[in-house]
Amino acid sequence: MKLDRRSFIATTGALAAAPAIGAAPKFPSRRPPLAGRRFTSPAVEAEIKRVGTMIADPELAWIFTNCYPNTLDTTVKLGTLGGKPDAFVITGDIPCLWLRDSSAQLRPYLHLVRRDARLRELFRGLIARHARSILIDPYANAFMEDPNARTNLGWALRDETEMKPGVAERKWEVDSLCYPIRLAYSYWRESGDTAPFDSTWNESARAIVRTFREQQRKAGPGPYRFQRSANQPTETLLGGYGAPTRKVGLIHSGFRPSDDACLYPFLIPSNLFAVATLRELAILAQQVRKDSALASDALALANEVEKALAQYGTMRLGDGSEIWAYEVDGFGNAIFMDDANVPSLSGLAYLGCMSPDNPRWRRTADAAWSEANPWFFRGRAGEGIGGPHVGEGQIWPMSLIIRALSLRDDATIRRCLQTLMATHAGTGFMHETFDKDDPTKFTRSWFAWANGLFGELIVHLANTRAAVLKEAL
C-alpha cells in the first residue's frame, strides 16, 4: 500500500486512548532523561524554572515544562561543517528539516541567546543550514540531513517535479523562504552576532529575492512545476502550475503553510509575510553585509507587493465590512477562510505584519474565529480553527495558541488555556489536531512546532500578563 503523508501521520501520531497520569508524582516529567536529550541549554533550563514558579495550576506548569524544551530535547542535531556550526532540526515524527518548522521551533529561545554561547552556536548552525539548503533548491520546502541523499519520504518519491539530491519534498510555499529571513533577522537583532552572515548566506538571500520575483510570473510561468498522484486534490497543482491568475505583482504560492495546494495562487497571508521579511532582509543586507544592491532590490520588491496587496488582497463580508482575503487570483475572485498553520490571517499580528489594533486585521481575525470560516469548528471539546490538511471537525491547538498570543483580552486567553489543558489527552504535549468532540482522538503525538509555540505562549504571558498564570484555571 502506498503511504502518503496523511496516512503516515495517522499511523504514527494518534493514540488509541489517553495514557493515565501517575498518582505519585501526579504529573511525572515526560522529558527524555538527561543523557537522552539531544541538546541542553542552561539558559533554557533556568527559564523553565523561572516561568514554572509563576504558574499556579500544576497541570499547566507540567505541560509547559514538557513542551517548552521539546525541540531541544528531541529534534536537534548540532555538529560542524568546515569548522562552523551546522544544525539539523527535524519536525518531530518526520525526520526531515522543514524551513518553516525549524525556524519556528527555535523562535521560543531567541530571547535567551545572549546568556548561552552554545545556544548561539545552535542558531548559527541552523541559519547556515538554511542558507545551504536554499541554494540546493529555493523551491523546496523540506530537506534531507545528507545533502547528497535522495528523498526517503514515501509520498514524495514519484512527484513530477525537478527533485534534487538533498531535497525531501518540493512543494513551493512562499513562507518557506520568509521564515529563514525572519529567523536570521531576529537572531541578529537579539544577539548582535554577525558571524552567520557570510558569503553563502548572502548568496542564499539573493536566491530568495530572485525566486520571489520569478513567482510574480510576469514573464511566463517560471521554472517551478509540481504534480503528485494522490487521492487528495490538495496534494497536487492544476496543470503543474495551479489555477490561472492575472499577473498583478503578487507572489504566486503553489502550496499553503499546511503543505496543501492553494485554490487561488495568491495566498494573502504569505504575501503579507513576504513584505515584512523582505524589509528585514533589506536591513540585514545594508547594515550587516553592506550590500546596497540586495537591500534596494528587496525593498523595491516589498513595496511592489505591498501596493498589489492594497489593491487586490481584500474582500468584503456579507455585511459589507472590508477584510483581508485568504486567497485571490487577481481577476476579482477571492475566498475567505483561515487555516491554523502560520502564516494565517489569524496570525498576521503575531508575525508582526500589522498591529494587533489594526481595525481591518481585527475584523478579519474575528471572522476567522466564526462560522464565516468554513474551517472553524466548535464541539464538546472546544472550538478553534483547523484546515483541509487533516479534515473536518479537527481543531489545531496551534490556532488556540496563536489566538492567545495575538489578543490582549485576559478572558479570551484564559479560555484558550483551558481548552488546551482539556485537550492534550493526558500526554502533556500539544498535538497537530484533536477531534472537536473527543480529544483522545488526535494526530501527531510528536509535533515540535506546536510544543514550542505553546511554550512561547506561556513565556509571553509570564512576561506580559503574569496575573493570568497566577490564577487557577
What's the whole-number mean pLDDT along residues 36-40?
98
For residue 388 the three cell numbers come to 483541509
Domains in the chain, CATH or no CATH each:
35-469 (1.50.10.10)
**At residue 11, does pLDDT exceed 70?**
no
Tally of residues, the chain:
473
As separate numbers, helices (DSSP H) first and strands (DSSP E) second, the chain gives 15, 15
What pTM, to 2 d.p., does this model score? Answer: 0.95
**Nearest-angstrom CA–CA distance, 251 and 266:** 6
**At residue 124, does pLDDT exceed 90?**
yes
**Nearest-angstrom CA–CA distance, 210 and 381:** 46
Residue range 274-294, pLDDT digits in tens: 999 999 999 999 999 999 999
pLDDT at 415: 97
Pairing state of beta strands 322-324 and 314-316?
Answer: antiparallel
**Nearest-angstrom CA–CA distance, 242 and 245:** 9
**At residue 9, does pLDDT exceed 70?**
no
**Nearest-angstrom CA–CA distance, 463 and 108:** 13
CB 204 within 8 A of CB 131: yes
Q: Nearest CA to 396 among 359, 432, 450, 449?
A: 432
Residue range 78-97, pLDDT digits in tens: 999 999 999 999 999 999 99
